A and B are shown apart, each in its own frame.
Chain A
Amino acid sequence: MINKEIKTIEQAIAGIKSGMTFMFGGFGLSGIPENAIKAISNSGVNNLTCISNNAGVDGFGLGILLEKKQIKKMISSYVGENAEFERQMLSNELEVELIPQGSLAERCRAGGAGIPAFFTPAGYGTEVQMNKEVRVFNGKKHILEHALISDFSFVKAWKGDTAGNLIFKGTARNFNPLMAMAGKITVAEVEELVPAGELNPNEIHTPGVFVQRIIKGDAFEKRIENRTTRKKN
């Protein structure tokens, strides 16, 4: 067993540099690596390219890095929940590349799976197709999309073991397993960290081979973006 446990979040993010490309797991605020984001903010690195389905909200999630102007470019599918993001984008302080959500997921998966590019129908005939090769398969037009990889991927799981194996909970899984695959160095933060051997191998979602460092997160706020409920009866 290769022990991947890291004790402090500063050690977990060691090696990050300005100008790097980072991936962040999560959908909205669900399943985001809260502890790594705070530590990256404190480290002061900037000029980052950040790949994440969303860009957080004002003051939370990737909103923290946006506020400190650490992000040069965002690659996302949906970014509409953040006033500071909007301000930076409209004033051209922030580059933004929007990608269909399924293409973003598959580009991360492909990056981790050693597939350099693939054809998808999503985006054909739209702005997304610009400068991309088009081919017809089974009578339908598809566009060529390239794989994505990162210098560091930061992911969040529910449980993990010291071998780096991960189990996710609910819809907090989302992009985390794919981005874990696509990181040159993948840092996983978990709510519960157990010794290798304690997780049932049948129930592991992300094999530890994709994870280089694992740490038990200090605190998870797990903020809810859009609280919707019904009344009993």
Chain B
Amino acid sequence: MALDKNGIAKRIAQELENNTYVNLGIGIPTLVANHIPKNINVEFQSENGVLGMGPFPFEGEEDADMINAGKQTITTMPGAVLFDSATSFSMIRGNHIQLSVLGAMEVAENGDIANWKIPGKMVKGMGGAMDLVASSENIIVAMTHTNRKGESKLLKKCTLPITGVNCIKKIVTDLAVVDVTLNGFKLVERAPGVTVAEIISATQANLIVDGDIPEMIL
């Protein structure tokens, strides 16, 4: 069965490495913070100016001066630090953040990503996504395998305006874990109960399937 949003987040949490700095985007990526493995220590950066982001505040303890990039009220962890937006993006552009997790509308088999604009519809802007994808050495995309119309989001070529070129390394969807290799998309794992044939039929791009594909362990 296809994973729900928390299932995708839980699988991505397995990619977290101990003692690293991580930037989580808005949407499914935010949920990754709820599934950090017990023996792993990570510090979350939010690009509006905090490193060492903690959970939501208790009711009644919200502070308008303490929010994340999704404008949600947050808290900070011991050792947290606050800074301005230029310093924040120095951390991102300067490669001091080891992993970025973000959502996407489309990913192409060469690692291009589109996630900021649908022409003719409301254009909300790229926020920090273009800086993140242009700089981070390790970027994981968290998204559903297909869009609301049932069309594949893993494409030979992006159809929407792109956010960055050749930058995505790994995709975790409700159906599969896919690596982006020099030869294109490579199927690495299946969601529990999902067949390789189902994944291939939900993928517009070519999918390299090499030997038996294991199920995700969640």
A residues within 8 Å of B by Cβ?
27-31, 53, 76-81, 86, 89-90, 96, 98, 100-106, 108-109, 120-128, 158, 168-178, 205, 222-232
Residues on A with C-beta less than 8 A from B125 are 76-80, 98
Contact A125 B64 (CB under 8 A): no
Inter-chain CA distance A231–B61, complex, in Å, is 11
Residue of chain B at shortest CB distance from A181? B86
Q: Which of A28, A172, A173 contacts B83 (CB 8 A)?
A: A173
Chain A residues, CB < 8 A from B208: none
The reply to whether the CB of B196 lies closer than 8 angstroms to some CB of chain A is no
Question: In the complex, which residues of chain B have a beta carbon less than 8 angstroms from the beta carbon of A222?
Answer: 64-65
> How many angstroms from the CA of A146 to the CA of B195 in the assembled complex?
51
In the bound complex, residues from chain B placing their C-beta under 8 Å from that of A227 are 62, 72-73
Complex: how many Å from CA A172 to CA B162?
30
From A125, A169, A226, B72 is in contact (CB under 8 Å) with A226
Note all chain B residues with C-beta closer than 8 A to A31: 65
Minimum Cβ distance to chain B for residue A165 (Å): 15
What is the minimal beta-carbon distance from B193 to any residue of chain A, in angstroms?
32
Instruction: List which B102-138 residues lie within 8 A (CB) of chain A.
Output: 112, 117, 122-131, 134-135
Do B162 and A226 touch across chains, with their CB atoms under 8 A apart? no
For B124, what are the chain A residues with a Cβ–Cβ distance below 8 Å? 78-80
Known: A174-B48, A174-B85, A229-B58. A127 touches B161 (CB 8 A): yes
With a 10 A CB-CB cut-off, give which of A29, A108, A123 has the most chain B CB atoms: A123
Chain B count of residues within 8 A CB distance of the other chain: 52
Interface residues of B (CB under 8 A from A): 46-50, 55-68, 70-74, 82-86, 88-89, 92-93, 112, 117, 122-131, 134-135, 161-165
Among residues of B, the one whose C-beta sits closest to the C-beta of A128 is: B130
- Write the nearest CB–CB distance from B159 to chain A, whole angstroms: 14
Query: Which residues of B sit under 8 angstroms from A29, Cβ to Cβ?
Result: 64, 71
Residues on A with C-beta less than 8 A from B59 are 229-232
Is the pair A226, B126 in contact by a Cβ cutoff of 8 Å?
A: no
What CA separation (Å) do A183 and B174 show in the bound complex?
48
- Chain A residues with Cβ below 8 Å from B55 are 230
A105, B50: Cα distance in complex, Å: 15
Chain B residues with Cβ below 8 Å from A102 are 47, 85-86, 88-89, 92-93, 128, 130-131
Of B48, B50, B63, B161, the most chain A CB neighbours within 10 A belong to B48
Considering residues B84, B117, B162, which has the most beta carbons from chain A within 10 angstroms of its beta carbon? Answer: B84
